Homo-oligomer: A and B are copies of this chain.
Amino acid sequence: MLPPTEGRCLLKRISDLSRQLTSLESKTYAVLDMNVSSNLLLFCRPVGYIRTAYATKNGTPRQGVVCPQVRAELRISRDIFSNPSHSLQGLKEFRYVWLIFWFHLNQVSSAKAKIRPPRMGGRSTGVFSTRSPHRPNPVGLTLAYLEEVSGDTLTLTGVDLVDGTPVLDVKPFIESYDSPSDLLHHPISYDTWVTRAEQSKQLNNVVLTAEARESLNSFHKRCSQEMCPRCLRFSDEDTLLPAIEELLKSDLRSVYRKSKCSDRIHFLTLDNVKLSVWYDSKGCAHVLQIDCFRDDVIERSKIVVKYM
Protein backbone atom coordinates (compact mmCIF):
# COMPACT_ATOMS: atom_id res chain seq x y z
CA MET A 1 0.00 0.00 0.00
CA LEU A 2 1.29 3.45 -0.88
CA PRO A 3 1.27 6.35 1.56
CA PRO A 4 -1.97 8.35 1.29
CA THR A 5 -0.35 11.45 -0.31
CA GLU A 6 1.29 9.45 -3.08
CA GLY A 7 -1.93 7.48 -3.49
CA ARG A 8 -3.84 10.72 -3.94
CA CYS A 9 -1.36 12.03 -6.55
CA LEU A 10 -1.65 8.84 -8.57
CA LEU A 11 -5.38 8.91 -8.23
CA LYS A 12 -5.38 12.43 -9.62
CA ARG A 13 -3.24 11.42 -12.61
CA ILE A 14 -5.53 8.48 -13.31
CA SER A 15 -8.53 10.73 -12.98
CA ASP A 16 -7.01 13.33 -15.41
CA LEU A 17 -6.22 10.66 -17.96
CA SER A 18 -9.62 9.10 -17.70
CA ARG A 19 -11.25 12.51 -18.16
CA GLN A 20 -9.32 12.88 -21.41
CA LEU A 21 -10.46 9.41 -22.44
CA THR A 22 -14.07 10.21 -21.58
CA SER A 23 -14.04 13.34 -23.71
CA LEU A 24 -12.73 11.27 -26.62
CA GLU A 25 -15.28 8.55 -26.11
CA SER A 26 -18.26 10.84 -26.08
CA LYS A 27 -17.61 12.02 -29.61
CA THR A 28 -15.95 9.14 -31.35
CA TYR A 29 -16.81 6.03 -33.19
CA ALA A 30 -14.00 3.74 -34.13
CA VAL A 31 -13.85 1.22 -36.91
CA LEU A 32 -12.58 -1.95 -35.37
CA ASP A 33 -11.39 -5.04 -37.08
CA MET A 34 -12.99 -7.93 -35.23
CA ASN A 35 -9.82 -9.95 -35.57
CA VAL A 36 -7.80 -7.32 -33.70
CA SER A 37 -9.83 -6.99 -30.59
CA SER A 38 -7.24 -5.95 -28.07
CA ASN A 39 -7.67 -2.22 -28.69
CA LEU A 40 -11.16 -2.08 -27.31
CA LEU A 41 -11.09 -0.87 -23.71
CA LEU A 42 -14.42 -0.66 -21.93
CA PHE A 43 -14.98 1.40 -18.81
CA CYS A 44 -17.14 0.62 -15.81
CA ARG A 45 -17.91 2.57 -12.67
CA PRO A 46 -19.21 1.02 -9.46
CA VAL A 47 -22.89 1.74 -8.87
CA GLY A 48 -22.11 1.23 -5.19
CA TYR A 49 -19.93 -0.68 -2.73
CA ILE A 50 -21.40 -3.58 -0.83
CA ARG A 51 -21.15 -3.78 2.96
CA THR A 52 -20.86 -7.33 4.21
CA ALA A 53 -19.68 -9.20 7.28
CA TYR A 54 -16.57 -10.48 5.48
CA ALA A 55 -13.62 -8.20 6.07
CA THR A 56 -10.98 -10.19 4.18
CA LYS A 57 -10.80 -12.62 1.25
CA ASN A 58 -9.67 -15.30 3.68
CA GLY A 59 -12.92 -16.31 5.35
CA THR A 60 -15.30 -15.12 2.66
CA PRO A 61 -17.47 -17.98 1.40
CA ARG A 62 -17.06 -19.07 -2.21
CA GLN A 63 -20.74 -18.68 -3.00
CA GLY A 64 -23.58 -16.91 -1.23
CA VAL A 65 -25.38 -20.20 -0.70
CA VAL A 66 -22.79 -21.09 1.96
CA CYS A 67 -24.04 -18.55 4.50
CA PRO A 68 -27.63 -17.71 3.62
CA GLN A 69 -28.26 -15.94 6.93
CA VAL A 70 -25.53 -13.33 6.69
CA ARG A 71 -26.88 -9.93 5.72
CA ALA A 72 -25.36 -7.39 3.36
CA GLU A 73 -26.24 -3.88 2.27
CA LEU A 74 -25.82 -2.12 -1.04
CA ARG A 75 -26.40 1.58 -1.35
CA ILE A 76 -26.67 2.99 -4.87
CA SER A 77 -24.19 5.85 -5.26
CA ARG A 78 -25.22 9.45 -5.72
CA ASP A 79 -22.44 9.73 -8.30
CA ILE A 80 -24.46 7.48 -10.59
CA PHE A 81 -27.93 8.94 -10.22
CA SER A 82 -29.00 12.18 -8.57
CA ASN A 83 -31.99 10.23 -7.24
CA PRO A 84 -30.59 6.75 -6.53
CA SER A 85 -33.85 5.54 -4.96
CA HIS A 86 -35.61 6.01 -8.32
CA SER A 87 -33.33 3.38 -9.88
CA LEU A 88 -34.60 0.76 -7.39
CA GLN A 89 -38.28 1.46 -7.91
CA GLY A 90 -40.20 -1.75 -8.62
CA LEU A 91 -37.36 -4.01 -7.53
CA LYS A 92 -39.35 -5.21 -4.49
CA GLU A 93 -41.51 -7.22 -6.90
CA PHE A 94 -38.58 -9.61 -7.29
CA ARG A 95 -37.28 -12.01 -4.65
CA TYR A 96 -33.76 -12.56 -5.98
CA VAL A 97 -31.27 -10.32 -7.70
CA TRP A 98 -28.06 -10.86 -9.65
CA LEU A 99 -25.09 -8.86 -8.52
CA ILE A 100 -22.40 -8.29 -11.13
CA PHE A 101 -19.31 -7.14 -9.28
CA TRP A 102 -15.57 -6.55 -9.53
CA PHE A 103 -13.08 -8.88 -7.82
CA HIS A 104 -11.13 -5.88 -6.52
CA LEU A 105 -8.78 -7.83 -4.26
CA ASN A 106 -7.24 -9.98 -7.00
CA GLN A 107 -3.49 -9.86 -6.57
CA VAL A 108 -2.46 -11.05 -10.01
CA SER A 109 -3.26 -8.67 -12.84
CA SER A 110 -2.77 -11.10 -15.74
CA ALA A 111 -5.13 -14.05 -15.89
CA LYS A 112 -4.03 -17.55 -16.81
CA ALA A 113 -5.91 -19.76 -19.29
CA LYS A 114 -5.85 -22.70 -16.85
CA ILE A 115 -6.27 -22.55 -13.09
CA ARG A 116 -6.55 -24.94 -10.13
CA PRO A 117 -9.87 -24.49 -8.29
CA PRO A 118 -9.62 -25.42 -4.58
CA ARG A 119 -12.31 -28.07 -4.84
CA MET A 120 -10.68 -29.89 -7.75
CA GLY A 121 -8.01 -31.14 -5.38
CA GLY A 122 -5.11 -29.57 -7.24
CA ARG A 123 -6.09 -30.54 -10.79
CA SER A 124 -6.19 -27.78 -13.38
CA THR A 125 -8.97 -26.76 -15.74
CA GLY A 126 -9.82 -23.92 -18.14
CA VAL A 127 -10.62 -20.66 -16.39
CA PHE A 128 -13.96 -20.32 -18.26
CA SER A 129 -15.15 -23.64 -16.87
CA THR A 130 -14.82 -22.27 -13.33
CA ARG A 131 -16.19 -19.40 -11.26
CA SER A 132 -12.67 -18.45 -10.14
CA PRO A 133 -11.98 -14.75 -9.46
CA HIS A 134 -8.78 -14.98 -11.52
CA ARG A 135 -10.20 -14.39 -15.00
CA PRO A 136 -9.41 -12.06 -17.93
CA ASN A 137 -11.99 -9.55 -16.70
CA PRO A 138 -12.28 -9.88 -12.93
CA VAL A 139 -16.07 -9.74 -13.06
CA GLY A 140 -18.12 -11.87 -10.68
CA LEU A 141 -21.73 -12.99 -10.71
CA THR A 142 -23.75 -13.93 -7.66
CA LEU A 143 -27.40 -14.52 -6.92
CA ALA A 144 -28.63 -12.95 -3.69
CA TYR A 145 -31.91 -12.99 -1.81
CA LEU A 146 -33.51 -9.56 -1.71
CA GLU A 147 -34.68 -8.91 1.83
CA GLU A 148 -35.68 -5.30 1.52
CA VAL A 149 -35.47 -2.18 -0.59
CA SER A 150 -35.52 1.04 1.36
CA GLY A 151 -34.82 4.31 -0.41
CA ASP A 152 -31.44 3.99 -2.11
CA THR A 153 -30.43 0.82 -0.23
CA LEU A 154 -30.90 -2.90 -0.83
CA THR A 155 -30.69 -5.36 2.04
CA LEU A 156 -29.55 -8.76 0.86
CA THR A 157 -28.77 -12.21 2.26
CA GLY A 158 -26.72 -15.06 0.86
CA VAL A 159 -23.93 -12.81 -0.41
CA ASP A 160 -20.38 -14.05 -0.92
CA LEU A 161 -18.62 -10.71 -1.34
CA VAL A 162 -15.81 -9.18 0.67
CA ASP A 163 -16.83 -5.97 2.43
CA GLY A 164 -16.29 -3.00 0.12
CA THR A 165 -16.57 -4.92 -3.17
CA PRO A 166 -17.49 -2.57 -6.05
CA VAL A 167 -20.80 -3.60 -7.62
CA LEU A 168 -21.27 -2.92 -11.33
CA ASP A 169 -24.88 -3.91 -11.77
CA VAL A 170 -28.02 -5.22 -10.11
CA LYS A 171 -30.51 -7.17 -12.23
CA PRO A 172 -33.72 -8.90 -11.18
CA PHE A 173 -33.71 -12.70 -11.32
CA ILE A 174 -36.35 -13.59 -13.91
CA GLU A 175 -37.16 -17.28 -13.95
CA SER A 176 -37.98 -17.57 -17.62
CA TYR A 177 -34.67 -15.95 -18.61
CA ASP A 178 -32.38 -17.38 -15.96
CA SER A 179 -33.58 -20.90 -15.37
CA PRO A 180 -32.33 -23.43 -17.88
CA SER A 181 -35.08 -25.99 -17.35
CA ASP A 182 -37.40 -23.38 -18.83
CA LEU A 183 -34.97 -22.59 -21.60
CA LEU A 184 -35.17 -25.88 -23.45
CA HIS A 185 -37.89 -27.66 -21.51
CA HIS A 186 -35.87 -30.52 -20.22
CA PRO A 187 -34.71 -31.04 -16.65
CA ILE A 188 -31.02 -30.81 -15.91
CA SER A 189 -29.30 -33.79 -14.38
CA TYR A 190 -25.67 -33.55 -15.28
CA ASP A 191 -22.53 -34.44 -13.53
CA THR A 192 -19.63 -32.01 -13.20
CA TRP A 193 -16.66 -31.65 -10.93
CA VAL A 194 -18.69 -29.08 -8.99
CA THR A 195 -21.57 -31.45 -8.22
CA ARG A 196 -19.13 -34.25 -7.43
CA ALA A 197 -17.21 -31.97 -5.05
CA GLU A 198 -20.46 -30.97 -3.37
CA GLN A 199 -21.61 -34.54 -2.92
CA SER A 200 -18.30 -35.68 -1.50
CA LYS A 201 -18.06 -32.68 0.81
CA GLN A 202 -18.16 -33.65 4.49
CA LEU A 203 -19.89 -31.24 6.78
CA ASN A 204 -17.46 -30.17 9.45
CA ASN A 205 -18.33 -30.16 13.08
CA VAL A 206 -17.85 -26.84 14.83
CA VAL A 207 -16.73 -26.86 18.45
CA LEU A 208 -16.13 -23.80 20.60
CA THR A 209 -13.64 -23.82 23.45
CA ALA A 210 -14.78 -22.49 26.82
CA GLU A 211 -12.74 -19.31 26.20
CA ALA A 212 -14.35 -18.73 22.82
CA ARG A 213 -17.80 -19.25 24.25
CA GLU A 214 -17.05 -16.75 27.01
CA SER A 215 -15.95 -14.11 24.46
CA LEU A 216 -19.16 -14.75 22.60
CA ASN A 217 -21.18 -14.07 25.72
CA SER A 218 -19.45 -10.75 26.20
CA PHE A 219 -20.00 -9.82 22.55
CA HIS A 220 -21.07 -6.24 22.09
CA LYS A 221 -24.84 -6.14 21.79
CA ARG A 222 -26.42 -3.71 19.43
CA CYS A 223 -26.94 -0.53 21.37
CA SER A 224 -29.25 2.38 20.76
CA GLN A 225 -26.37 4.76 20.12
CA GLU A 226 -26.45 5.97 16.53
CA MET A 227 -23.29 5.40 14.46
CA CYS A 228 -21.72 3.15 17.12
CA PRO A 229 -18.63 1.72 15.40
CA ARG A 230 -19.08 -1.65 17.13
CA CYS A 231 -22.70 -2.09 16.02
CA LEU A 232 -22.16 -3.78 12.69
CA ARG A 233 -24.04 -6.69 11.16
CA PHE A 234 -24.69 -8.92 14.14
CA SER A 235 -26.87 -7.58 16.90
CA ASP A 236 -26.01 -10.23 19.52
CA GLU A 237 -24.46 -13.67 20.06
CA ASP A 238 -27.66 -15.44 18.98
CA THR A 239 -27.25 -14.12 15.44
CA LEU A 240 -23.45 -14.36 15.44
CA LEU A 241 -23.12 -18.01 16.49
CA PRO A 242 -25.17 -19.53 13.61
CA ALA A 243 -23.20 -17.39 11.14
CA ILE A 244 -19.89 -18.66 12.57
CA GLU A 245 -21.15 -22.23 12.34
CA GLU A 246 -22.38 -21.81 8.77
CA LEU A 247 -19.09 -20.30 7.73
CA LEU A 248 -16.89 -22.97 9.31
CA LYS A 249 -19.00 -25.94 8.22
CA SER A 250 -18.21 -24.97 4.65
CA ASP A 251 -14.51 -25.61 4.60
CA LEU A 252 -12.97 -22.50 3.08
CA ARG A 253 -9.34 -23.66 3.19
CA SER A 254 -7.37 -23.87 -0.03
CA VAL A 255 -5.83 -27.13 -1.22
CA TYR A 256 -2.45 -25.88 -0.06
CA ARG A 257 -3.75 -25.00 3.40
CA LYS A 258 -5.49 -28.34 3.77
CA SER A 259 -2.50 -30.43 2.77
CA LYS A 260 0.48 -28.41 3.98
CA CYS A 261 -0.81 -26.42 6.97
CA SER A 262 -2.67 -28.99 9.06
CA ASP A 263 -0.64 -27.85 12.10
CA ARG A 264 -1.48 -24.17 11.65
CA ILE A 265 -4.20 -21.96 13.07
CA HIS A 266 -6.51 -20.23 10.60
CA PHE A 267 -7.57 -16.68 11.29
CA LEU A 268 -10.88 -15.59 9.81
CA THR A 269 -12.65 -12.28 10.13
CA LEU A 270 -16.43 -12.19 10.25
CA ASP A 271 -17.82 -8.69 10.61
CA ASN A 272 -16.53 -7.31 13.91
CA VAL A 273 -14.99 -10.51 15.31
CA LYS A 274 -11.79 -12.35 14.53
CA LEU A 275 -11.84 -16.14 14.79
CA SER A 276 -8.84 -18.36 15.52
CA VAL A 277 -9.70 -21.81 14.21
CA TRP A 278 -7.94 -25.15 14.06
CA TYR A 279 -9.22 -27.91 11.77
CA ASP A 280 -8.30 -31.34 13.12
CA SER A 281 -7.57 -34.33 10.87
CA LYS A 282 -11.25 -35.41 10.97
CA GLY A 283 -12.32 -32.02 9.60
CA CYS A 284 -13.74 -30.75 12.90
CA ALA A 285 -13.34 -26.99 13.28
CA HIS A 286 -12.23 -25.95 16.77
CA VAL A 287 -12.89 -22.29 17.50
CA LEU A 288 -10.07 -21.55 19.92
CA GLN A 289 -10.57 -17.86 20.34
CA ILE A 290 -13.01 -15.10 19.39
CA ASP A 291 -11.67 -11.56 19.48
CA CYS A 292 -14.05 -8.68 19.22
CA PHE A 293 -12.50 -5.71 17.42
CA ARG A 294 -11.72 -2.68 19.47
CA ASP A 295 -13.35 0.59 18.42
CA ASP A 296 -10.12 2.10 17.16
CA VAL A 297 -9.43 -0.81 14.83
CA ILE A 298 -12.67 -0.42 12.98
CA GLU A 299 -12.09 2.09 10.24
CA ARG A 300 -14.89 1.03 8.03
CA SER A 301 -15.20 4.15 5.92
CA LYS A 302 -11.82 3.61 4.22
CA ILE A 303 -10.91 0.65 2.12
CA VAL A 304 -7.90 -0.16 0.02
CA VAL A 305 -8.68 -0.82 -3.60
CA LYS A 306 -6.11 -2.15 -6.04
CA TYR A 307 -6.64 -1.03 -9.60
CA MET A 308 -6.95 -4.03 -11.86
Contact = CB atoms under 8 A, between A and B. Distances in A.
A38 B88 contact: no
A31 interface: yes
Number of copies: 2
A126 interface: yes
B166 A40 contact: yes
A102 interface: yes
Interface stretch (A179-187, A225-233, A272-280): A179-187
Interface string A121-151: 0000111111100011101011101000000
A169 B139 CA distance: 8
Contacts of A302: 31-34
Contacts of A77: 37-38
B184 A68 contact: yes
A190 B305 CA distance: 38
A91 interface: yes
B29 A15 contact: no
Contacts of A126: 86-91
Contacts of A169: 128, 135-137, 139
B135 A301 contact: no
Nearest to A160: B177
A59 interface: no
Given A77-B38, A100-B141, A113 B136 contact: no
A167 to B, nearest CB: 10
A79 B95 CA distance: 39
Nearest to A115: B87
Interface in A24-40: 24-26, 28-40
B129 A158 contact: no
Contact of A87 (B89, B113, B304): B113
A46 interface: yes
A192 interface: yes
Given A42-B166, A42-B308, A96-B183, 19 more contacts: A7-B30, A14-B24, A15-B39, A28-B307, A37-B48, A42-B168, A43-B44, A80-B136, A81-B113, A87-B126, A87-B127, A89-B125, A93-B193, A131-B177, A136-B169, A137-B168, A139-B168, A145-B184, A158-B183
